Chain A
Amino acid sequence: MAVDLDTKDQPPPEEQALQAWERDLEHIGIMGRLMAGRKWHGADWWFVAIAIVMVAGFIFVALFPGLIAPFNPREQVGPRLLAPGETPDQDVLILRVGEPAASLVDFAGDERIPTGVVRGAPASEAVRDQADRITEELNGGGDERRVRLRVARFETLDEVLDALVVGDVALAAASSLEFEAVADRYPDLFVAGPVDSDQGGGQSFLMGTNQLGQDVFSRVIWGTRIALIIGFSASLFSLALGVPLGLLAGFAGGKLDRVLTMIMDSLYAFPGLILAIAIAAVLGPSIFNIIMAIAVLYIPTYYRIVRGQTLSTKEGLFVEAARSLGAKVRVILTRYIFPNVVPSVAIIFSVNIADAILTGAGLSFLGLGLPPTTPDWGIDISRGAPLMNQAWWIITFPGIAVMLLVLAFTLLGEGLMEIFNPKLRDR
């Protein structure tokens, strides 16, 4: 071989003007680029890292909501409109320490049980109703015993409790919050449990409850699943239609391109949510129809980007070179043009998911979305809106969830765009 090989590894002159680290960048993979991103983006790669953690978190929550959510999101699990972290005010049974009985059932027998209540307090009604109910249940089960109370009415809670301490009454029924306030002074007394034992242990809820007594936190957790399903599937549908159409139109050109572009541009020009409302209204409420309505909306986004990229890529010399080497059209499309278009598709996809989730929430908010029992952020926000003045927590937490999820996907998409689009490098 006559050719001198010594110079073959030298970079061409224009590359020597680059910084050393810039030249190094050319020789590292995707992970390396991410790690080195700091050098050319300032803090941007942190955005991507944070976004990846957030997205991974949301996906985990959506996959295993049962592990995190404490309650069934569709059932009433507590009192209505309970503020976050607040203990519900319950009618509770108060007993003396050392009393063998623990609930009303234990007082079943022939005797009338002296019971102390505050005159006019809801607890007095509750305790008598509950006694009757227990009696009915016992009798229904073939048990002849009865729970009979002799209700003694006092003017204040202190009088009731004093009477209980000295033994004038065997038990007392009162509001849990009122008793808590004075409990310090009555070390001999304790709360045995709620009068109505079906009501649960009077627990507090992390994000409160809504007007149906459902746990807001559980609904937010389960809502992640719906949001991600809608976001992912709608974006996937748009991608599956928009990308091939864009490739085809960009590559084939001519009349096909003009007709497709006209259709896509008219779709694109139409206000998005209104179009989605129209489609969803025609199709009727179901998760599949919502996904379809949103998917149609975003097809032009993929189409336009992919078409543009295809137009510029197909002019590339390497496509011509492939032709000159006898490559078939299908091979040129799938191996030369498509892979060069993929990075921008991936970026739109992640920004698109965020958009689709917002639109899905918007449709649900307008009542065009899913059945109302579905744990969905849009539905929760829609139903909580009229109660905003009394119960801020019903709309705030789903709202934050929407914001965080959209933020995560947007950060991811924009961050990836910065890293993979060399044209934006120097900005």
Chain B
Amino acid sequence: MSNDTLYAIKDLSVEYATRQGNVRAVDAVDLDIRRGEILGLVGESGCGKSTLGKALMRMPPGKVVSGELLFDGTDLTKISDKQLRQIRGARIGMVFQDPMTSLNPIQKIVDHLTETIRTHQPKRSEADARLRAEEIVDRLGIRAERIDEYPHQFSGGMRQRIMISLALALRGDLVIADEPTTALDVIVEAQFLDLLRDLKNELGVTIVLITHNIGVVAEIADRVAVMYAGKLVELASVHDLFDSTKHPYSKGLLRSVPNIDLDGTDLYKMSGAPPNLLALPSGCSFHPRCPEVMDICSKVEPPFAPVEADGNHATACWLYQEQSVSVELRS
């Protein structure tokens, strides 16, 4: 593992147990998260992006069935629950979609913070933890004297900032933000994204930004991973993804974004619906909806492979694979 990789995800599969059988929500995902980057994780609802985000901390309800989660050299799938708890909150933090319900309504903000700090550093005194709490909320743009208030006294954007302050209270390395701006209005959203960028630049925090909003990704992400039906279909720098999109699904996703220049009728609607994860199509999961479908697509699953020499742009699509590979796989 190279030194600039903070978190190496190798061949990760996550399943849910349902009455109809096991649903594989994340299927054999390989992904490196680089130190100090903002990685956008996009895809439509149900594609497994939130499950992947939670799996990074081994959070329920999904169950990691195979693969490795190498966080800074430690495989999270092999450590005990106790060791895992020491990493959660201290080194990896999470910010959730709904800021209105992600704080305990009957606990003061300061108690949230000091509890987190003292869970991981039991020797730290209450007063000391409080100082740190004041420092971190102040850093995130909330007046320190407000930490004695309750969550309902804050607006959505402020609560989201409090969530971040919780994730960073112990100077964590990685923040997993699961659709953090979905519940915010556009003005607050812009402020929040600015804040994320500042945190990255000033504190060197690595951020995984899970979202279905391509615009948000374009705004602040360094690299983007596109997911479809539990699999990674494209991974590229944000510049490459927008300028030389490879995978037909990514192309569709980009064209589906409303744009002020379009007429009312011009907005692209991808045909079909996301596949049933219990009965995935054969071959490439996207082939029933793909406008550029080929023979091979319904028969053999495309490998996730680099499309450029530098290896920074990879996709899982037969359009960009050597024909020889496909013939080989077919035989």
Q: Please tell me if the beta carbons of B107 and A325 are within 8 angstroms of each other in the complex.
A: no
B96 interfacial by beta-carbon distance below 8 Å: yes
Q: Please tell me if the beta carbons of B141 and A318 are within 8 angstroms of each other in the complex.
A: no
A185 interfacial by beta-carbon distance below 8 Å: no
Q: Please tell me if the beta carbons of B103 and A326 are within 8 angstroms of each other in the complex.
A: no
Known: A318-B101, A325-B89, A325-B93. A8 touches B142 (CB 8 A): yes
Task: Provide the bound-state CA to CA distance between A2 and B194, in Å.
Answer: 7
Q: Please tell me if the beta carbons of A1 and B191 are within 8 angstroms of each other in the complex.
A: no
For window 65-85 of chain A, which residues contact chain B by CB distance below 8 Å?
Answer: none
B6 interfacial by beta-carbon distance below 8 Å: no
For window 185-200 of chain B, which residues contact chain A by CB distance below 8 Å?
Answer: 185, 187-188, 191, 194-195, 197-198
Q: Please tell me if the beta carbons of A7 and B191 are within 8 angstroms of each other in the complex.
A: yes
A269 interfacial by beta-carbon distance below 8 Å: no
A255 interfacial by beta-carbon distance below 8 Å: no
Which residue of the partner chain A has the closest CB to B153?
A: A27
Chain A hits for B57, CB < 8 A: 324
Give the B interface residue count (CB, 8 A): 44
Known: A3-B141, A7-B187, A8-B142. A322 touches B104 (CB 8 A): yes
B251 interfacial by beta-carbon distance below 8 Å: no
Cβ proximity bits B88-114 to A, threshold 8 Å, 1 near / 0 not:
111001101110011111110000000
Q: Which of B115-123, B283-291, B316-324 contacts A (4 or more CB under 8 A)?
A: B115-123
Cβ proximity bits B280-308 to A, threshold 8 Å, 1 near / 0 not:
00000000000000000000000000000
Q: Please tell me if the beta carbons of B85 and A321 are within 8 angstroms of each other in the complex.
A: no
Chain B hits for A335, CB < 8 A: 104, 107, 115
Task: Provide the bound-state CA to CA distance between A316 and B99, in Å.
Answer: 11
Cβ proximity bits A298-329 to B, threshold 8 Å, 1 near / 0 not:
00000000000000000011101111111110
Cβ proximity bits B63-99 to A, threshold 8 Å, 1 near / 0 not:
0000000000000000000000111111001101110
Q: Please tell me if the beta carbons of A324 and B88 are within 8 angstroms of each other in the complex.
A: yes
Task: Provide the bound-state CA to CA distance between A7 and B198, in Å.
Answer: 19
Chain B hits for A254, CB < 8 A: none
Smallest Cβ distance from A277 to chain B, in angstroms? 41
Chain B hits for A10, CB < 8 A: 155
A326 touches which of B106, B107, B120, B191 (Cβ 8 Å)? B120
B152 interfacial by beta-carbon distance below 8 Å: yes
Chain B hits for A320, CB < 8 A: 59, 96, 102
A120 interfacial by beta-carbon distance below 8 Å: no
B156 interfacial by beta-carbon distance below 8 Å: yes
A110 interfacial by beta-carbon distance below 8 Å: no
Known: A3-B191, A340-B105. A324 touches B94 (CB 8 A): yes
Chain A to chain B contacts (Cβ below 8 Å), 30 pairs? A2-B195, A3-B141, A3-B194, A7-B157, A7-B187, A7-B188, A8-B157, A13-B185, A27-B153, A318-B105, A320-B59, A321-B102, A321-B163, A321-B166, A324-B59, A324-B89, A325-B89, A325-B93, A325-B119, A326-B88, A326-B90, A327-B119, A328-B85, A328-B119, A331-B115, A331-B119, A335-B107, A336-B104, A339-B106, A339-B107
A residues with a Cβ closer than 8 A to B are 1-5, 7-13, 26-27, 316-318, 320-328, 331, 335-336, 339-340
8 more contacts with CB within 8 A, not counting A12-B185, A328-B85, A339-B107, are: A1-B139, A7-B187, A8-B158, A318-B104, A321-B103, A324-B94, A326-B87, A327-B89
B residues with a Cβ closer than 8 A to A are 57, 59, 85-90, 93-94, 96-98, 101-107, 115-116, 119-120, 139, 141-142, 152-153, 155-158, 163, 166-167, 185, 187-188, 191, 194-195, 197-198
**7 shortest A-B CB distances, which residue pairs?**
A326-B89, A325-B89, A324-B94, A326-B88, A317-B102, A317-B101, A326-B85
